[in-house]
């Protein structure tokens, strides 16, 4: 194959990957916005994972990065193949973990959340997760548009197909407050969401690239023509936005489990590490500097320090690695 033909083939494969990627993303949006579809989230996740996988394959192909699985021999590579002889290309998780991945930290976290959620829904039927996780789905969609246009140009964008989904039913405040408690949300999904969120840094959780959250409030109109404007956008630094975000932040903080140091120690003793004491806990967090708030392991409320679940996970890991010392 001549050099010109090789360049032409690289270009044509990249274009085909981008075309299929965009088609998958548009199909995901169309399904999610279809009021007659009840399997929205599950279908959306599968299609967006495909869309992002093809997008990153196109990027790696353009950068001449081999995204096929292989075993390096003494003189040549032996490529892994399917039972029908096709090359095995990287899945999305592998694309995200590569050091040459072009995506930012919050975008990667959003996609890893969706990948983990897909693993959960592959094995058990789910219901009513659309409302609770729609902010993360919306962020995924916006991230996709921004990424594909920045890497390959505006012609591949899907911005004109992104719309604010309107729910044509009225929810009382009581219904909104208890939405998360509804029986239709499987316990394994609740545990997955809680576990994943506990691993995030505060700035990752709050980023619109991880979850695109919009607050809607009833709006009164002083003039007749104002009543027809369903949505009004305000600047992020306006007093209205500051007030709303402050209120939302308070709600968010009360939802995240927190543990006192004594509770951490008690839990580890109950886990089978009776010799693990408060002094060991103190030495551990000091050696790792985990009371540095930028690391996201805990928070100080008034004069008391509280630890998050992700620190409890780290302590358990430490005890398991040094089991002989604490049993």
Could you report the per-residue pLDDT of 141-158, keeping only the tens digit for each? Answer: 889 998 999 999 888 888
Distance CA 65, CA 205 (A): 31
Distance CA 10, CA 15 (A): 9
Q: Please write the tens of the pLDDT for every residue from 232-257.
A: 556 666 666 666 555 454 444 444 67
Q: 174 falls in which pLDDT band (50, 70, 90)?
A: very low
pTM score over 0.75? no
- pLDDT, position 267: 93
Are 294 and 201 spatial neighbours (Cβ–Cβ below 8 Å)? yes
- Structure-model confidence comparison of residues 265 and 208, the more confident one: 265
Burial class (CB in 10 A: 0-12, 13-18, 19+), 264: buried
CA distance to 24, 64, 127, 162, 182, per residue, from 146 (Å): 16, 22, 30, 12, 34
């Amino acid at each position: 194959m001549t050099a010109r033909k090789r360049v032409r083939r690289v270009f044509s494969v990249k274009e085909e990957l981008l075309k299929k990627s965009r088609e998958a993303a548009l199909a995901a949006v169309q399904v999610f916005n279809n009021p007659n579809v009840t399997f929205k989230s599950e279908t959306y996740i599968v299609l967006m994972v495909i869309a992002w996988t093809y997008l990153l394959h196109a990027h790696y192909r353009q950068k001449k990065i081999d995204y096929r699985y292989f075993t390096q021999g003494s003189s040549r590579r032996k490529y892994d193949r399917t039972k029908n002889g096709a090359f095995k290309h990287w899945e999305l998780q592998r694309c995200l973990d590569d050091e040459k991945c072009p995506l930012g930290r919050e975008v990667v976290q959003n996609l890893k959340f969706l990948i983990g959620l897909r693993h959960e829904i592959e094995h058990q039927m789910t219901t009513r997760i659309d409302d609770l996780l729609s902010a993360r789905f919306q962020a995924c969609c916006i991230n996709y548009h921004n990424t594909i246009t920045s890497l390959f140009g505006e012609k591949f964008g899907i911005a004109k197909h992104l719309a604010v989904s309107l729910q044509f039913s009225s929810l009382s405040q009581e219904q909104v407050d208890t939405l998360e408690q509804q029986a239709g949300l499987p316990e394994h999904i609740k545990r997955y969401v809680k576990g994943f969120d506990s691993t995030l840094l505060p700035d990752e959780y709050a980023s619109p690239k991880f979850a695109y959250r919009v607050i809607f409030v009833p709006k009164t109109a002083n003039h007749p023509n104002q009543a027809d404007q369903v949505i009004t956008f305000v600047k992020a630094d306006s007093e209205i936005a500051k007030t709303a975000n402050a209120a939302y932040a308070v709600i968010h903080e009360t939802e995240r489990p927190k543990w006192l140091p004594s509770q951490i120690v008690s839990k580890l003793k109950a886990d089978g590490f009776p010799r693990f004491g408060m002094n060991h806990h103190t030495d551990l967090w000091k050696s790792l500097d985990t009371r540095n708030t930028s690391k996201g392991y805990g928070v100080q409320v008034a004069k008391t320090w509280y630890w998050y679940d992700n620190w409890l996970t780290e302590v358990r890991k430490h005890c398991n690695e040094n089991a002989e010392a604490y049993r």
